[in-house]
Structure formats: structure tokens, C-alpha cells
Amino acid sequence: MSVLKSDHLTIKFGGLTAVSNFCLTVEEGELVGLIGPNGAGKTTTFNMLTGVYKPTNGKIYLYEQDITKKRVDQITALGIGRTFQNVRLFSGLSVIENVMVGSHLRLKSSFFQAVFHTPRYTKEDKQIREEAKQLLSEVHLDKFENKVAGSLPYGEQRRLEIARALATKPKLLLLDEPAAGMNPQETKDLMSFILKIQEKFKLTIVLIEHDMKVVMGICKRILVLDYGVTIAEGKPIEIQHNPEVIKAYLGAEANYA
Amino acid sequence: MSLNVFLQNLINGISLGCLFALIAIGYTMVYGILRLINFAHGDIFMMATFFAYYAIALFSLPWGLAFFAAIILTMLLGITVDRIAYRPLRDAPRISSLCSAIGMSFFLENLAIVVFGGRPKPFFSPEFFGQTFIISEIRIQSVSLITPLVSIFFLLILTYIIYRTKTGLAMRAISKDFDTAKLMGINLNRTIAFTFAIGSGLAAVGAILWALRYPQIFPFMGMFPGWRAFTAAIIGGIGSIKGAMLGGFLLGLITIMIVAFFPEQAGYKDAFVFILLIFVLLYKPEGLFGEE
Amino acid sequence: MKKKNLYSLLNIILILIVAIFINIAQKRFDPYIIRILNLCGIYVILGVSLNLINGFTGQFSLGHAGFMAIGAFVSALLYMSPELKEMNYFITPLIWPFSVIQIPFFISVIAGGIIAALVGFLVGAPCLRLKGDYLAIVTFGFSEIIRIIFNNLQSITNGPLGLKGLPAFTNLWWSWGGAIFTIFFISNLINSSYGRALKSIREDEAAAEAMGVNLFYHKVLSFVVGAFFAGIGGALLGSLVMTIDPNTFSASMTFQIIVIVIVGGLGSITGTVIVATIFAILMEFLRVFESPMNFFGTKLPAIPGMRMLVFSIILMVVILFFKRGLMGGKEFSLKQFIKIFSRDNRVIKEGS
């Protein structure tokens, strides 16, 4: 059973077809890269997979369950977590609160139990806090637990976003340009970090990235989008030498030496 | 209902519709440019009537001059409201501007109570406004005839300004794309002030015509026409001047017709406006001509 | 002793102190002062409940007066005696079964809150998907619709005449008991996982949804809880001022609560409590300006409406210059208070 299967996903906005016939099957444990020039429709695809946009045509299956028409929060509950291209943290909340929000959907206590602090709720709350602290130490942010999220430097905000997504206990993690704005050292750390969490949390990961070092370095399989169309799919080495891909990025028949 | 009564109601409806249109344009223009609902607009409308009243009562100006002065003062008031309450919050989160608009409305109403007193005052009416013409058994007040004429006159001036002047072009540009307009060298603050001036000026014209028709003025008088005009702007499509005009006429007609056909429900007529407003916002927020 | 137990103990001691104070005040204080204290408690209930919706969840509601009206009328219809009802409804008699019902005050007030909460659900469910300005308008519209309906339903609410001669059940125990319960309920809610979900909605709805927060459920939850306490507040207010009519629960009333919440700080319970108390006191103090007075020998004329003008100026000043309100969106809690005295002071400072 595949983790994710998208079947001829198409989305049109008015007269513009942003993404057409996007087909992707992801098996458990895979690390797939989604690349393409700016405006190719990569984030739009993520938005369809997570339920933010409803596709005009096509279907999405998560563990063979049709999630095409489901709400965003329902899809998250079923196991898809994501980060955003432009970091979207809860800036006014503290670092640890940001992560704890991710755990809310798995809370079993009712709201009355929460208000009156029943033993059941108190236990759950403590567990949520413990798990949040663990996730924060994974991303090396545990010392900043009580800092206001908006005050963190950019790189740390990105890490916090990943921790928050992990708190939702996803099976499939969608990372949207996680290396954006990072220097080479940070990028290297990010790459080993992604591999580490994939192993530790048994994740399947799909990754949008512009930084080719990251993509070629950790992705086992890559899809290339251009103007919403999938123009290539295959192993990193194949993609690097694919003339269509080169044309899409460089705009002409240039020599990729 | 006899044809005569129907025609009478029709004329009243059109007349009322013109007033709503004049006020609605102010709401729609400010929203088009700032994406902000100027809650204080109804109160600016109210202040116009008091300006006119005191121009006559205190300064004994002849009514023509008094009305003119009131319009100018109201335009200045509109610019001032923007300057104090909205301009400082241009870059603040939307909720601040919302609070500010509400606060400004609140402030103007209470200022009026303190300065002018809460008791309704009778508005002065030059003689010929009060005359009633009788055309084949239909009674028409002269104000009902003058209102559409004056309204159309000012609306034509407005159309000229919007479509044939540089400032009008600037206003249209800002409402289409705020950031690019800034980059193109358009003086944002001045154009916005101008927008408020025009909107308030039209509201003042509407206010005076309103006061001539319903000659009782009091600090909370802006509420009823304000919410009607706002509903009109939403129905027409908030941000669209054409929409505001059409919405205004429609709502004027609807208002009169509802009372004419269902006189027993008169107490609920204000509720109908809100119900209509809520429905439109829930199910067709773009209105008739809106873009969003 | 363990930290958690220490906080609980301190909370209990605090409540006991307040209880003793209320006991003394109810017996000894001047009725005028008692009335002001009652108003303080009621404004706290109203302010904190509005802050839950507007401040913590970020949904700008202007409908509070409508829920207050529902609470006030429903409870009055339940606790008024049949004779009192007959006296009031002299134009159109009150319909059955209200005409014969009489229920104890406490239950009537709760019922008022519950009906208000129910209406809150009916209003919130379709409307809370609207944002910002549009939500404000729609909630305002509903509040006005409720007012207009109440003004016209002569046989249920007695129309614009309203209800007079209501028994004065509200005392410091009810108003401050209610206030303390409201603070307890809502701050526990805010500090729980549900509260974090509500705050995340305020911060970034799309991100909250992506993290699995069901927007509809949580927005409606906060709206319904807010409406419940608004109903309670309205009910208590009715019995305090002993007369209610639909036009008291107008836009002005909502504005007063908005002033309290914004000046105290959207998202700060402490701020709301402090400002609500000050507001109730000022409402009485400034009343002085509304009748002629002697100011160091000069006669000042009556300035009716001065109070509301002062409040509206304060509101504008806060909006323009102190955007986060009195407390800057922060809370004063026992935890922070204790930290000042605790030996762990240095360690805590280091970590944060």
C-alpha cells in the first residue's frame, strides 16, 4: 500500500491551469524531491495535497483512503504534516506553545475536562508538554522554550516550524523549501537533520527545494514541474542530465557542464 | 394598491434611493482604496446636518451659503477623520483599523451629544422645499423631485472626477493595486485624503437633502441611513461606485415598498435591512458588481 | 510543598479573602458603594467573555449586547412572579407558560446564559467563517435584529416598555461569585490545549488548520462560551438595575464592553478585570459631570453624555498610542507574583 497516491491532479484558477495531471505515488520511507522553476506550481501542489485547495480534477489517496474532499485539519489528522514556504509560525505564542498546538488534534479530553483540569486532562497535558520538549531538543531549541516565537532568528524559526509539524505525528511530511535562506553549513546540518528525523519518526517525506545540493544529496527520487506540468521523473543522476529539465531551468538549449 | 399610490411610493423610493446612493459612495470609495469600512461615515453624515443647522442658526447665513459651508466643513471633517484615526494605522494589523473606525464613530456620536445636545432639533426648510405638487392625484413633495435632480448632478461631477482627472486615475490605481500605486509615485496620503473628501462631500449633500425631507436632526441620526447605505454598497458590490449607486436605488425602492406593502411589519423594517445585509455577506459578498 | 499545590492553596486563600470581604461589604457598606461593586463584577463578566472571542480567538464580534439582552429577558421571564408579570404586561398579556412560571434566581440566570449560548451557536455557525470587518458587521447586525425583535414582541418581552420593578436579587455574592467563576473558567480554558488552539487561530488561521485545528469547532466554541457568560452578565445586570428594556442593550452597550476590552488589552484577562473595575467606578464618578456642579466657586452647567465622551476619547488614545492596551497583552498571574519572592528567582531568570 502506498502512502500517497495522487491521480491526475489538476487545478485551474479562472482561465489559468496552475497544475495539470500531477501523478505521484510515494511508498513508505521514501524521500521524494519536487523541483522546478519559480511559479511551476510546486507549492500549489502541496496545497492540494493538504486540502487547502480543492483540485478541479483528479484524486488524492492517503494509504488508499480518498482524501480529495477532506478538510485541511482532517487531512492533518489522517497523517499529513507540512511546513510553509514563508514561515508561518504563531508569532505571538511562545516556542513551546507553537509545538504544543500541533499536539492538540490528538487530544482525547473534552473541553469541559480541560477547563476543570480533570486528572485525565492533566495527564494528557503533561504528556503533550513532555513530547513538545523532546521535539524542541531534536531541533536544538529547547533552551528557548519560553521565548516568543516571533523573536527567533530566521533559521531557528524554520526549525521550529518543523518541530511543530512533527508534533502532529504525521506519517507523511511535506517540507516546502526548508533550506531557503540558509548558508552552506546550515544547509548541511539541515540535510542530516532531515535524514535523522526520517529514520527516527519513520516518516515518508516529500520535499520542495531550490537548493540542488539538498535535492541531489538526500532525495532518492525527483519530480520536475514546469508551468504545472510534470516534465521529468527519476533518480537524481537522471534528472541532472535530462535536457527538458535543463531547458526549463535555463530557458534555452544551454550546455549544463 | 391603486396606481396613484404605487406611483407615489415609486417616486418616494427613487428619491430615498438617491440619498442612499450618495452616502453609499462614501463607504464604497474608502473601502475600495483602504479595504476599510469607515464606520464613522454615518456620523460624518450626521455632522453635516448639524453644520448646516448651526450655519443658519448661529451665523444667520442664507440657506444656500449655509449648505455650501456645511459641505465644505464636512469634507474637511472627513479628511480629519482619516488623518487622526486611519492614517497612523496604515501599516498596523487590520484589526487596529477596525477598532479605530468603531472608536471614531463612537467618539463623533458622543461628541455630538455633548456639543449639540441629545434632543432632536428641527431643521430649517426653505419655503419651496416644503411645497407639495399635485399631479393627477399624486402628491409629491418638492423635495422628492429636487433630490434626484441634485443627486444626479453631483454624481455626474463625481463620474467626471473619477474618470477624467489625474486624481481620479490615482484613486482607481490605488484601489486596484495599493503597493504598485505607491511605487509608481502616486502620493498615497494625498489621494486618500481626497477620497475621503469626496465621499464626505457627497454624504453632506445627501445629509442636507435628508434633513430637508425628514427635518429632525439628532446625534444618532446617522445610524439608520448609514446602515442602509452600507447595505446598499455591499449589495452593489463594495468597492464599485457603479454598484453603490445601483445598490442605493434598489435599497431605497425596497425600503419604501416594504412599508407600503406590509404596513403592519413596519416595526421590523430595520431588522429586514440587517437580515438582507447578513444574507448578502454570507452568500454573495461580492454583491452585484464587486470584484472579490 | 510542591509548586502546583502551592498555587492552588494561594488561589483558595485569595478566594477566601474575597469572600470575607464580600461578606463584610454586603452587610456594612453604603448601598451606593455596593451598587458600584456589583457593577464592577458584572462588567468583569462581560469584559472577560468578550475578550475570549475578540482577544484570544481573534474573532471581532460586535454582538455582545444581543446576548446580554437574551440573558436578561429570559432570566427575568423566569424569576419574575406571576403577579409582577401581570402588572408589567398591561397592554398585551404575557404568553403562557411564561405567565405562570416562577423559578429560583440562580436557575433563571443559568437558563438565560444557556439560551444566549444557544443563540450564539445559531449565529456563530454560519457566520464565523467571515473575517474581520464582515464578521463585525454581521454580529452587529444580529445584535440589532435581536433588539428590534424584542422591541416588537409585545406579548413576550413587553416591547419598548420593558420590564420594571424587577426583584433585586443581584448582590455581591452573585456578581462577584459570577465574576470569579468567569475568570476561573475562561483562564483555565485559555491555559489549556483548547486555549492554545484558540490563540493559534488568532495568530494564523491557515497555519492553525494545517496543524490540525478544526477552525469551525474552535471558533464556535469560543463564541458560544462568550455568549453564555454575556447572557449571565445581562441577567445579573437586569436584576441589579431592576428594569430592563430592549433599548438598553444597544450598540452603546456593546461599545462600552469593547472599550473595556481594548483598553485593558485584547488577550489579557488581567487587563480586562482591572479596566472593567475602573470603568464601573468611573461610570459613577463621572456621572457628577452630568448634572450642574460647583467647581471652586464657579458654576458649571450640566454636560450630559460627558462620561461616554471621555470613554470614547480614552478608547481612541489607546487604539492610536497604546495598541496593546493596558497590560500589553500580558497577564499578571500568581506564578509571576510568587517568582518575585521565591528562592528560585535566579534560576528562573536564567532560563528565560
Q: DSSP for chain A, please give it.
A: --SEEEEEEEEEETTEEEEEEEEEEE-TT-EEEEE-STTSSHHHHHHHHTTSS--SEEEEEETTEE-TT--HHHHHHHTEEE--SS----TTSBHHHHHHHHHGGG--S-HHHHHTT-HHHHHHHHHHHHHHHHHHHHTT-GGGTTSBGGGS-HHHHHHHHHHHHHHT--SEEEEESTTTT--HHHHHHHHHHHHHHHHHTT-EEEEE-S-HHHHHHH-SEEEEEETTEEEEEE-HHHHHT-HHHHHHHHSSS----
Q: The whole model's pTM is what? A: 0.90
pLDDT recorded at residue C327: 67
Supply C230's cell numbers. Answer: 454575556
pLDDT per residue as tens digits for the range B189-234: 888 999 999 999 999 999 999 998 888 999 999 988 999 999 999 9
pLDDT per residue as tens digits for the range A24-73: 999 999 999 999 998 889 999 999 999 999 999 999 999 999 999 999 99
pLDDT recorded at residue A4: 92
* pLDDT greater than 80 at residue A128: yes
CB C66 within 8 A of CB C141: no
* pLDDT greater than 80 at residue B78: yes
For cell 458603594, name the residue. Answer: C33
pLDDT recorded at residue B189: 87
The answer to whether the Cβ–Cβ distance between C194 and A82 falls below 8 Å is no
pLDDT per residue as tens digits for the range A194-221: 999 999 999 999 999 988 889 999 999 9
C-alpha–C-alpha distance, residues A209 and B4, integer Å:
74
CB A229 within 8 A of CB A11: no
> CB contacts < 8 Å between B and C, how many?
107
pLDDT recorded at residue C94: 82
pLDDT recorded at residue A253: 45
pLDDT recorded at residue C341: 58
Instruction: Tell me the mean pLDDT in the region B2-29.
Output: 88
Are chains A and C in contact at 3+ CB pairs closer than 8 Å? Answer: yes
Mean pLDDT is lowest, of B116-130, B248-262, C269-283, for: B116-130
* pLDDT greater than 90 at residue C192: yes
Region of A226 please: left (phi>0), alpha (psi -120 to 50) or beta: beta
* pLDDT greater than 50 at residue B57: yes
pLDDT per residue as tens digits for the range C318-343: 989 887 766 666 676 655 666 555 54
Mean pLDDT is lowest, of A231-235, C47-51, C149-153, C326-330, for: C326-330
Distance from the A102 Cα atom to the nearest Cα atom in chain C, whole angstroms: 5
Q: Would you call A219 an interface residue with chain C, using a CB distance cutoff of 8 Å? A: no
Distance from the C351 Cα atom to the nearest Cα atom in chain B, whole angstroms: 32
The class that CATH gives domain A26-54+66-79+170-257 is: alpha beta
Instruction: Tell me the mean pLDDT in the region B30-45.
Output: 91
Instruction: Tell me the mean pLDDT in the region C78-99.
Output: 84
Top pLDDT among A160 and B184 is at A160
* ipTM of model: 0.92
Bond from prior residue into C160 cis (ω within 30 degrees of 0)? no
C-alpha–C-alpha distance, residues B39 and B105, integer Å:
6
Confidence of residue B177 (pLDDT cuts 50, 70, 90): confident
Domains of chain A: which residue ranges? 26-54+66-79+170-257, 90-168
Domains of chain B: which residue ranges? 35-231
Top pLDDT among C259 and C291 is at C259
Distance from the A70 Cα atom to the nearest Cα atom in chain C, whole angstroms: 12
* pLDDT greater than 60 at residue B292: no
Beta bridge partners of B139: B134
Instruction: Tell me the mean pLDDT in the region B221-249.
Output: 90
Q: Is C255 helix (H, G, I), strand (E, B) or coil?
A: helix
Confidence of residue C279 (pLDDT cuts 50, 70, 90): very high
Pick the residue of C211, C219, C221 with the most A CBs within 10 A to test the interface with A by mutation: C211
The residues on C that touch B, with CB distances below 8 Å, are 58, 60, 62, 126-127, 130, 132-134, 136-138, 141-142, 144-145, 148-149, 151-152, 251, 255, 258-259, 262, 266, 303-306, 308-309, 311-313, 315-316, 319-320, 323
Instruction: Tell me the mean pLDDT in the region B136-144.
Output: 73
Task: Give, for C282, the enclosing helix (H) or strand (E).
Answer: helix C269-285
CB C231 within 8 A of CB C74: yes
Top pLDDT among B3 and A52 is at A52
C-alpha–C-alpha distance, residues A49 and A61, integer Å:
9
pLDDT per residue as tens digits for the range A144-201: 999 999 999 988 999 999 999 999 999 999 999 999 888 899 899 999 999 999 999 9
C-alpha–C-alpha distance, residues B22 and A96, integer Å:
53
- The amino acid occupying position C304 is P
With contact defined as 3+ CB pairs under 8 Å, the chains touching C are A, B
pLDDT recorded at residue B118: 84
Length of chain A counted residue by residue: 257
Pick the residue of B110, B113, B275, B283 with the most C CBs within 10 A to test the interface with C by mutation: B110
Top pLDDT among A145 and C304 is at A145
